[in-house]
A and B are shown apart, each in its own frame.
Chain A
Amino acid sequence: MPLIDLANPSRFLALVGKMLPWLVAATLVALAAGLWQALFVAPDDYQQGATVKIMFVHVPSAWLAMAIWALMSIAALGTLAWRHPLADVAAKAAAPLGAGFTFLCLLTGSLWGRPMWGTYWVWDARLTSVLVMFLMYLGLIALWRTVEDPSRAGRAAAILTLVGAINLPIIKFSVDWWNTLHQPASVVRVGGPAIHPSILVPLLTMALALTLLFATLHLAAMRNEILRRRVRTMQMLAAQGASA
């Protein structure tokens, strides 16, 4: 189905209704498989011991936090250049989920840093740039709530989203450009992953599971946002009718 057909919110809602039960089932299966592998199958690391298991939540959360901002940036182009009616709905529904994954990434990273590095937090380039992304997520959510009219709020938020997208390459390459306490990339790197398959497979399974979880929550949140906007329109029409 071409993207333009989805511009019709009713058709989109019907599609979401059909897809959601399957997505929920797939998420539960992947999450069960991922957690089982992470907790019971994956071996301890040769130097970090069992703390390496924090990675199975930390790394997928970090990937998703960045992927969600990238998704919102594409949606922002959709809002600003194409005026696609669902682009702003998609971005607005994704922001709290992105903020949640960023928070999870920061929290698990902090808990992992204490035993391994010897500190909960340092102001190195990687940690700081991710904290900046978290604050920008919160700023975006606040911006959407500050402006009353959804289409004006959407355009302002889209511009802020694109400005924040400049942070994405900074986060990714911070560990290569500057000296940091955070180690360089383990999976997406020149020369292939530096993680043994017995740890890499559970990691990728957890990444798939959390991506499916995001897709499920995102579609449900988009549906809620569309319905919320319909209610708003109906209330305004009713108020006009009452005053006329």
Chain B
Amino acid sequence: MTRRQRRLLLLGAGLGVLGLAAALVLSALKDSIVFFNSPSDIVEKRVTPGTRIRLGGLVAPGSLERGSELAVRFQVTDGNRAISVAYRGILPDLFREGQGVIAEGALDTAGVFKADNVLAKHDEKYMPREVADALKKQGYWKDDAQKRDAARPPRQVP
């Protein structure tokens, strides 16, 4: 074995051990690395009221109610469970029914999630409006919530 081969072997072994250590640390910290919890997670983990947590999922179609002075109520769903969210404030531009959102706040004793911040999540698809419209017209659009969007007047893009 030449010195170069020995050095390479040593480097490979060192990196392998470090990689394994990193993988173990990351899998141990899995619960704190996730940025948000789905409604099912929150129900399963029995999150106590008042604990600050992030709730993520889709805004359930038809659930959005706007009150006075920027107050909104909507349901966040992951397909299995839904949690009601109450929020007062300015919503991000992408917020609408069927959109992925993340709400920061805590459950109250009635099981309603009082959010003090709402973030919008967007997907990995990018396309011009005409292409999106054409896909919707031909029925190739997979997302049901967005299919309903197509029936509405198009959103104004500044």
Contact = CB atoms under 8 A, between A and B. Distances in A.
A198 B131 CA distance: 10
Interface in B32-50: 33-38
Interface stretch (A88-96, A134-142, A183-191): A183-191
B56 A179 contact: yes
Interface residues on A, range: 35 or more
Contacts of A186: 124-126
A42 to B, nearest CB: 9
A116 B122 contact: yes
Given A43-B129, A184-B124, A77 B11 contact: yes
B94 A116 contact: yes
A115 interface: yes
Contact of A185 (B14, B37, B122, B124): B124
Nearest to A114: B92
A199 B91 contact: no
A44 B127 contact: no
A204 B51 CA distance: 45
Interface string A111-150: 0000111110011110000000000000000000000000
A46 B128 contact: yes
Interface of A: 43-50, 52, 55, 77, 80-82, 115-119, 122-125, 162-163, 165-166, 170, 177-181, 183-186, 189, 194-196, 198-199
Given A46-B128, A196-B131, 5 more contacts: A45-B128, A48-B122, A117-B92, A179-B38, A194-B123
Interface of B: 4, 7-8, 11, 14-15, 18-19, 22, 26, 30, 33-38, 56, 91-95, 102, 117-133, 155, 157-158
9 contacts: A45-B127, A46-B128, A117-B122, A118-B118, A123-B35, A166-B22, A179-B37, A183-B122, A196-B131
